[in-house]
Chain A
Amino acid sequence: EAAVTQSPRNKVTVTGGNVTLSCRQTNSHNYMYWYRQDTGHGLRLIHYSYGAGNLQIGDVPDGYKATRTTQEDFFLLLELASPSQTSLYFCASSDQGNYAEQFFGPGTRLTVL
């Protein structure tokens, strides 16, 4: 089974702070995704990537940047964090396109004060 890890698991920052969330997958998947989960909204796609150096814009990208440095590593950057970005963030990976299962990490809970 695919292994997706995220760090940190919990993060507290202040408004205007700089935050980087990390994700690593070890099963050589090409596709990686960043989601946020909020009560009443389900999971919403922020950014995704088809491979190292590739970035695609998701459905709720405002205020977020992402970078895919290697096939394994995908980072989500919040350069000026705001309280509205307080959420539970999940990273996922998959082998290919529409037919492939997405494997999720354990999540990072981010609080912006």
Chain B
Amino acid sequence: QQKVQQSPESLSVPEGGMASFNCTSSDRNFQYFWWYRQHSGEGPKALMSIFSDGDKKEGRFTAHLNKASLHVSLHIRDSQPSDSALYFCAASDTGANTGKLTFGHGTILRVHP
């Protein structure tokens, strides 16, 4: 079973719109979450991390974590064509300080003019 599940598989939003991504872990040990973004032809790059319940905002990006339900979301406001990319949720095991991340399958975002 996939331990980190993402939805939707793909998303299309108009320029200036809001893009929202969801992620759920099926493993209670996974409570540290990251969002990574990968543009075509490049390696993934970290967008933000969230380790505590509640919201975390960085510029146009807001992440929300609910540890009780192991659900994390990412919202991008005022989406730009440059935000078109593959977005990954990743989780790490709080019980072992290995640095090991388990990634979801990703969500493809297309921002259209």
Instruction: List residues of chain A with CB under 8 Å of any chain B CB.
Output: 4, 31, 33, 35, 40-45, 48, 56, 58-59, 90, 92, 94, 96-107
Contacts and interface: CB of A to CB of B under 8 A. Distances in A.
A58 B100 contact: yes
Given A48-B100, A58-B100, A102 B105 contact: no
13 contacts: A35-B103, A43-B90, A45-B102, A56-B98, A94-B99, A98-B94, A98-B99, A99-B49, A100-B99, A102-B101, A104-B44, A104-B45, A106-B42
Interface string B23-60: 00000000010100000001111100101000000000
Contacts of B99: 31, 33, 48, 94, 96-98, 100, 102
B1 interface: no
A105 B98 contact: no
Interface in B58-78: none
Interface string B70-107: 00000000000000000010101110011111111110
A107 B92 CA distance: 22
B102 A59 contact: yes
A56 B32 CA distance: 21
B100 A41 contact: no
Contact of A45 (B44, B46, B100): B100
Contacts of B42: 106-107
Name the residue in B43, B94, B97, B101 with the highest tally of chain A Cβ atoms < 10 Å from its Cβ: B43
A42 B94 CA distance: 22
Contact of B105 (A4, A31, A40, A48): A40
B89 to A, nearest CB: 9
A97 B34 CA distance: 13
Contacts of B98: 48, 56, 97-98
B93 A90 contact: no
